[in-house]
Amino acid sequence: MVMKHPEHDDIDPNLEDFFQAARAQPPLPRPAFMDTLVMDALAQQRPAARPASVLATLGQALGGWFGGAGLATAMALGLMLGVNFGDAMGVGMADVQEAAADEFAWLDDFAELTWEEF
């Protein structure tokens, strides 16, 4: 497409092809400018954050130090009550072991079987 400008009638029409080719390719920035631009952009970025450790994630899930301290206190109290006052509540270790043995007595029948008998 040849553009006609009334004030530029004296321009050679053969030059218009060159002007169109120049308009088709946008000018590229100098490599030194691009290097400077990339270096400035990298300097402005924040460093990548390290992923949180498992212990830190667990601490946050429990509610921080206060939640973890409360949980540890409750576990220590439960252990102390279970060890010291288990007999007073009518649940001794002998009762627990006997109940467990009675509950899993049916497994004795299968303990004598071998894989070939299945």
- For residue 29, which of 40, 38, 17 has the smallest C-alpha distance? 38
The answer to whether position 45 is within a domain reads no
Range of the domain at 21: 6-36
CA distance 82 to 37: 68
Domain contains 13? yes
> Does residue 106 fall inside a structural domain?
yes
Q: Can you tell me the distance from the alpha carbon of 108 to that of 104, in angstroms, rounded to the nearest whole number?
A: 8
| Structure tokens, 8 | 């530029």
Report yes or no on 28 lying in a domain.
Answer: yes
Alpha-carbon separation of residue 98 from 16, 37, 64, 95, 104 (angstroms): 104, 78, 41, 5, 10
Find tokens 């498992």 and name the residue: 54
**Residue 103 near residue 96 (C-beta atoms within 8 A):** no
Does residue 62 fall inside a structural domain?
A: no
Q: Evaluate whether residue 98 is within a structural domain.
A: yes
Q: Supply the pLDDT for residue 60.
A: 86
* Structural domain includes residue 19: yes
Domain count, the chain: 2
Q: Render pLDDT for 55-102 as a digit per residue (tens, 0 to 9).
A: 888 888 888 888 889 989 999 998 888 777 766 666 555 666 666 666
